[in-house]
Structure 1
């Protein structure tokens, strides 16, 4: 991982300095950004920012997947076949989709 980008300097480091955080003479071993201290806590603002950004992106991806699963579930529910064997297959697929949606909900709740 490389050091802070211009965007990160502008949006993360500068506001932190203006808020009274103390820039230390040590650097993050992961990204090379200066470490900061505020309220007795030493941290790397760039790594924290990147982690928050990554989580937000993942959350958005999960929402997209959930939306596609719901659409597929609705599509399947609106096109139930009359043949018993095909209907059973259809229902098994719907059950798997519902199971996946429930798993996503549990994952969201654990954050």
Structure 2
């Protein structure tokens, strides 16, 4: 996720107004100025990206689970159709497992 200058200002401005101190050091990952608030030094841009990424993963995961539940609750009687449903359900479960592994690496 690439943030525009405007989005970066929208992240940084409230920090300055809340009393956070902009340091003369920059984030090695994104180059944004580091901030200090309540004794904690952090990069507000990376924090925002991390938060946004977690939200995206959660919503993807929730959508996959919802689709899986919908399929499980509407299984057809026809064997060929049932086979198709089960294949799709298997793909969804595989995707969910990948997302879980991605979460574990964070």
TM-score higher than 0.5: yes
Indicate if the aligned counterparts of 2:11 and 2:44 stay in contact, CA closer than 8 A. no
* Unmatched 5+ stretches in structure 1: 18-22, 37-42
The count of residues paired between Structure 1 and Structure 2 equals 95
Aligned residue for 2:65? 70
**Could you say which structure has the larger radius of gyration?**
1
* TM-score (normalised: structure 2): 0.70
Give 1:1-111 correspondences, 5 Å limit.
2=5, 5=9, 8-11=12-15, 14-16=19-21, 23-24=23-24, 30-31=31-32, 33=33, 48-111=43-106
* Unmatched 5+ stretches in structure 2: 36-40
Mapped partners of 1:82, 1:6: distance in 2: 54
Q: CA, structure 1 residues 56+83, in 2 after alignment: closer, same or farther (shift >3 Å)? A: same
Deviation at 1:83, TM superposition (A): 1.0
Mapped partners of 1:106, 1:9: distance in 2: 35
SS at match of 2:20: helix
- Output the aligned Cα RMSD: 3.2
Q: CA, structure 1 residues 87+27, in 2 after alignment: closer, same or farther (shift >3 Å)? A: closer
